[in-house]
A and B are shown apart, each in its own frame.
Chain A
Amino acid sequence: MNSSLLFATLLCLTLLSYWFGIKRSINVAGGSEHRKELTCLPEQFGLLTAMVCGLPALITLLIFNSAEQFVIELLLTKTLPTNVQTLSSIDLGLYLNNIRSMASSASTAALTASLHASGDLAEQAQLTAALNLQHLFEKSSWLKTALVLIIAVVSVILLVSKFNLTFKARQKAEAIVKALLVASSAIAILTTLGIVVSVLFESIQFFKSVPVNDFMFGTHWSPQTAMRSDQVGGSGSFGAIPLFAGTMLITFIAMLLAVPVGLMIAIYLSQYASAKLRSIAKPMLEVLAGIPTVVYGFFAALTVAPVIRSAGEYFGLSVASESALAAGLVMGTMIIPFVSSLSEDAISAVPNALKEASLGMGSTKSETVVKVLLPAALPGIVGAILLAVSRAIGETMIVVMAAGMAANLTANPLDSVTTVTVQIVTLLTGDQEFDSPKTLAAFALGLMLFITTLGLNIMALKVVRKYREQYD
């Protein structure tokens, strides 16, 4: 039975055991007219039975599925000829891949037939291994089915045998539900842990072949590594400074657009605008915020970049077709609603008394905004800008589509630059072996990205928290 069929069967069993639990508890009470004698409602008995039937079996299924591939391949490798077993891990991986595709593409009968027909010793070994693999998979599938169903049935039987009049079904069911709730909230921690561990682990692998200093302070980035050891000019250098500089340039351009415009929108909407304008402008900002980044990327690459290029030509400037300016401006557009909504929150959190006092002293609205509201809301606004910077640094699709691939170290916004996220995508799309420095470099860049954005977020939270203490 394959996993999805097994899952469906398990679901049916769970529903069945709900009904069985109810029936059984009423039986224990001595018929439906005596159901009041039970400590808990029959439905609670049913719920408990269903959970006891489904959960352990489901967990077994998940664990089995995640370990299955690994264990089977370990077993298969043990049966391979010794000369294959001693191959390097990359070659062994290729060999196993070959066997895997043979096993999945042909039926057992076809494989056996070609085994008999083949005269080549190496080919025979492969065919035998493929047959072996099919056999192992079949066995493990049976084992899985049997294990899951037995666990489901046995746990129900064990539970039901304990039913009596004072059995606390509700308390037990609630304990299980609570455990599930705890597990769900722990997923957030597991995710963070997963990110840190996976990215850190691959980065450490990377830093074994490329020193940390070369990576952090090198000024030359060309991740093409040699396929063969005798190849010329493909040694690969991983100096990430041009990527950091490119990221900062594009982020700076984006902020140059997003911060003034976003802040002014926030000020105008909170201090000047009529209710009617607000009711139109808010959805407008929501539209800007809701447009997927890939759409912004498309807009940047196919509309904004050509416009900037032809404008540059008109003024006699040479503009790269994938200029940092185009990517930065469109990214700024994307961030405007982010800045404006966060700063509006900060401005409206300033106590009204401050504003009224200032207006009462005869200052104009703009003077109140500039001299009273903004200084009071400054920590909140700084927090908003920090969060916006973190968004811009981590933004991927706009720069992948509109910024370049070449790692130029330049501060000219009309030139093409590349960013950290662009390089992660470039390094990891397409087929690469997993342990080459080229692929691992992406994880090192990911680590940098994670640390930077995390630092910015924590800083933003700190700034905002400090501000809150002033007025509460």
Chain B
Amino acid sequence: MTNSTTNNTSSTIKTAKPSTQKSTKVNNTMSSTTEKVALSLKKRHQKENRFKAFGLFSVLFGFMLVVILLGDITSKALPAFHQHWVKLDINYQGDWLGIDERLSGYELTKQLKGANFRAVLKNSIYPMFVDEQTPKLSRRDKRAVFKLFSTNGEFTIRDALLASPEDFNQTVSIWIKLDDDVDVYLKEGFALGEAGLRINEKQAHWVAKLQREQRIESRFNVGFFTASDSREPELAGVRGALTGTLLTMFVTILLSFPLGVAGALYLEEFAPKNRITDLIEININNLAAVPSIVFGLLGLAVIINVFGLPRSAPLVGGIVLTLMTLPTIIIASRAAIKAVPPSIREAALGLGASKMQVTFSHVLPQAMPGIITGAIIGIAQALGETAPLLMIGMVAFIVDVPTSIVDSATVLPVQIFLWADSPERAFLAKNSAAILVLLTLLLVINVTATVLRSKFEKK
């Protein structure tokens, strides 16, 4: 559009007839400049369009990155939400269990707890895999058969029998989990012999047989949310890490919110403008940009080695994350406090309120929406933080769900880091699913921030 209008003006100038000598001269120089401009215009507009296209491309590139990142993780995570189970006919024979067949009642339950369920499982499953191809299972075959099922199969059948002891000496159908290698094989439809697939031809044949007999079923993976970490991918879940995260965040919020708000209130409302205040201000700004891993070093050297707090505990993790997020919260809170109009302070002071009453009854409530938003941003940052927690030992393999802030625990981001190191292919999906859980948590936090803010602002 600009192109055509400029062309028009330049052509009208050219066609205008010069009346005097002097004006012709002027006009000549003018027309030569405008001609130059006109000639270069096309090039300049091309340049403009290129520039604009490059800008648009950058924005689209950003979108593409988000889509690829989230899409990649989601697509990898989906398989982890369901899991394959297999129906086995388990024969609870007394001599396989290693107990007297005539037992019953209390004596039976007592003995069952220590009975040999692995033998029951093995003896029950081996006959299922004898066919014309393998009339008799060799020792190696037996091992291969046993490896098709999750290692906690024997505990599943034990719990089933303990729940209904009348099945003793009976044959019952019980669902147990398949091993993670088989699970991955069924989910991803690999060709045999492909890298990362740890199933041989015979095992694949047996799995196909189980499928033909309709013994294999895919179910929603409840265990992912109710189990803790495990070396076996089919048994591993995020509950322990999630609890650790919640405990750590509990400590972080409890410490960082009051401390941050108090610090901001002092600096904005009370602090005299002197060198010490300046020093604190510069300090806070610098702390906000210190790499998080340095806070981990501080935690290790001071909180653990000097004060002797327990390693790996959510308490220490919470303190370290508090120190890390405090600058963010203080900076955001100060901005919110600064935005409260001075007239409110002056009105309250004029009515005889003390400085402290003005601050806590008038300034703070007014600044609350901004403070809460800033605090939540800080908390969200702390929630995804990993590096400082590695330093203070929250990186251990922990199976138990932590129950207090001084128990050994791990957090969700660290769990993701640990699983990413595991060689088992099934952990890839588990890990992506754990990332989705973490991102969902972050989303919930951010949405809460937005909702809280709009609620406060309406008031």
Q: Taking beta carbons and an 8 Å cutoff, which residues of A are in contact with B?
A: 4, 66, 68-70, 170, 174, 177-178, 180-182, 184-189, 191-192, 194-195, 198-199, 201-202, 260-261, 264-265, 267-269, 271-273, 277, 281, 284-285, 287-288, 290-295, 297-299, 301-303, 333, 336-337, 362, 364-367, 369-370, 387, 390-391, 393-397, 400-401, 421, 424-425, 428-429, 434, 442-443, 446, 449-450, 453-454, 457-458, 461
Contact = CB atoms under 8 A, between A and B. Distances in A.
Contact of A453 (B37, B65, B270, B290): B290
Contacts of B428: 302
B62 A268 contact: no
8 contacts: A178-B356, A184-B262, A285-B62, A294-B414, A295-B73, A429-B391, A450-B294, A454-B286
B290 A450 contact: yes
Given A181-B263, A188-B263, A425-B387, A401 B62 contact: no
Interface string B53-73: 011111101110110011011
A195 B416 contact: no
Interface stretch (B142-150, B222-230, B340-348, B431-439): B431-439
A199 B294 contact: yes
Given A187-B323, A273-B59, 16 more contacts: A174-B356, A185-B280, A195-B298, A198-B297, A201-B301, A264-B54, A268-B59, A288-B65, A293-B384, A367-B48, A369-B51, A424-B391, A443-B297, A454-B290, A457-B289, A458-B286
The 3 A-B pairs with the shortest beta carbon distances in the complex, nearest first, are A394-B291, A292-B384, A268-B55
Interface stretch (B96-104, B118-126, B178-186, B302-310): B302-310
Contacts of A449: 291, 293-294
Contacts of A390: 289, 291
A191 B263 CA distance: 13
A303 B69 CA distance: 9
B437 to A, nearest CB: 11
Contacts of A66: 307-308
A185 B266 contact: yes
A13 to B, nearest CB: 20
Given A188-B284, A195-B294, A302-B428, A291 B439 contact: yes
A421 B327 contact: no
Interface of B: 2, 37, 44-45, 47-48, 51-52, 54-59, 61-63, 65-66, 69-70, 72-73, 258-260, 262-267, 270-271, 279-280, 283-287, 289-298, 300-302, 305, 307-308, 323, 326-327, 330, 354-356, 380, 383-387, 390-391, 393, 395, 404, 413-414, 416-417, 420, 428, 431-432, 435, 438-439, 442, 446
Contacts of A458: 286
B326 A188 contact: yes
A389 to B, nearest CB: 11
A396 B283 CA distance: 23
Nearest to A424: B293
Most chain B beta-carbon neighbours within 10 Å: one of A284, A291, A292, A434: A292
A222 B63 CA distance: 42
Contacts of A298: 73, 416, 420, 431-432, 435
Contact of B59 (A202, A281, A290, A428): A281
B52 A272 contact: yes
Most chain B beta-carbon neighbours within 10 Å: one of A264, A369, A387, A442: A264
Contacts of B297: 195, 198-199, 424, 428, 442-443, 446
A107 to B, nearest CB: 21
A184 B330 CA distance: 10
A187 B420 contact: no
Contacts of A394: 290-294
Contacts of A69: 308
B442 to A, nearest CB: 6
B387 A396 contact: yes
Contact of A185 (B267, B323, B442): B267
A189 B280 contact: yes
Given A180-B262, A187-B326, A396-B386, A295 B289 contact: no
B293 A425 contact: yes
Contacts of B302: 194, 198
A434 B387 contact: no
Contacts of B262: 180-181, 184-185
A265 B55 contact: yes
A158 to B, nearest CB: 24
B66 to A, nearest CB: 5
A182 B270 CA distance: 9
B303 to A, nearest CB: 9
Contacts of B48: 364-367
Given A180-B262, A181-B263, A299 B290 contact: no
A421 B293 contact: yes
B279 A189 contact: yes
A187 B294 contact: no
A401 B416 CA distance: 11
A454 to B, nearest CB: 6
A287 B283 CA distance: 29
Given A182-B266, A191-B298, A287-B66, A396 B356 contact: no
Contacts of B2: 364
A177 B66 contact: no
Contact of B301 (A186, A202, A387, A421): A202
